Structure 1
């Protein structure tokens, strides 16, 4: 049996995925979690072979959770399973050690097949998304610029962003200015929106 863990903050989606995979004779769902913060602890407890992880979740997002899971439980292979097939997400997922990337509107049999192939040691990615990711290139943002834009996306002031990230106001303004230049945006809100749409955050 292939032991699978599901990480998705939407209970209906998680339940549907679990029910669908339960129909497969060689797949068993051994754990379900609703946030990125729960992924590593659940994997250590249940020892899944494959983890299906959503990107957008409370706490750590699925991409951060993937990197932590790969470091903490290297035997567990990761498939990103998301509604958002963005090139930036795909590139970061691969950088963080994911072995597969599928979108939730894929046919059910494709998801089960992906689980089997990833468990067998293969990589499974959507060819169109991989091509789009190569064409769009890697994110130009530094990790700190990403942090600042994530905070800006929530509508925080420079002072609030500085407090949240333990930076000075001047440093936050420098990172915002750099991120705006790299995204071609005229405001920090626009920069956050552009970066988010490209999957860079």
Structure 2
């Protein structure tokens, strides 16, 4: 009996390569491919895969939010995050969202196939280097609101623009930005965004 797989990655070449590699394995079968986070749950409900392999950074919904939705909509489907971005904060957030595994895209094909089998068997699979980095980096020091404000500041928006977007006062936005700058050890908000992004906290 084949293990049925769903692949979600916005890069068609990567998705195609992954599908081709996994289809070479006798016991694995790719039954669906999608290019955005928004398409994951509908495809899961339609194709009923055993394991969903999700990228983190996708248009619409990111892979971590999609993981939480998959777990809520189809609790029997396991999620394995396969990403270019081996950020410790991503690992922690993915596991909190219900992912069973987290590996990076340069994992050899045989190891990826093995990770799929282990996740399907109910085991947890985590890239060992990332697991260590995650322990060293620790949890995000930012509150939910500080995280939202920093995410909104990513594009260089003014405090007034961020305030309008998040339905906050400008003073509140400045306070959250100031707190986030302090907690990330940055000297300005651009640096705070870079630090938080680099750790996978955003």
The TM-score with structure 2 as length reference comes to 0.95
Query: Deviating runs (4+, > 4 A) in structure 1?
Result: none
- Residue pairs, 1:46-57, within 5 angstroms: 46-57=47-58
- 1:191–1:38: structure 2 CA closer, same or farther, 3 Å change rule? same
- Residue pairs, 1:144-183, within 5 angstroms: 144-183=145-184
The 10-residue stretch of structure 1 (18-27 or 152-161) with the greater mean CA deviation from structure 2: 152-161
- In 1: Cα distance, 2:43 partner to 2:84 partner: 23
- Residue pairs, 1:92-111, within 5 angstroms: 92-111=93-112
- In 1: Cα distance, 2:197 partner to 2:53 partner: 22
Q: Residue in 2 aligned with 1:82?
A: 83
Shift of 1:173: 1.5
Q: How many residues are treated as equivalent by the alignment? A: 201
Shift of 1:42: 1.3
User: For each residue in 1:169-195, what CA deviation from the matched residue of structure 2 results, as whole angstroms up to 9, or x when unmatched?
Assistant: 222222111111110112111110110
User: For each residue in 1:8-35, what CA deviation from the matched residue of structure 2 results, as whole angstroms up to 9, or x when unmatched?
Assistant: 1111101110111111111111111111
Shift of 1:128: 2.0
Shift of 1:147: 1.5
Shift of 1:126: 1.4
1:41 correspondence with 2:42: yes
CA RMSD of aligned residues (A): 1.1
Instruction: Give the match's secondary structure for 2:201.
Output: coil
User: For each residue in 1:41-95, what CA deviation from the matched residue of structure 2 results, as whole angstroms up to 9, or x when unmatched?
Assistant: 1111111110111111112211111112111111111111001111111111111
Q: Residue in 1 aligned with 2:127?
A: 126
Instruction: Give the match's secondary structure for 2:196.
Output: helix
The TM-score with structure 1 as length reference comes to 0.96
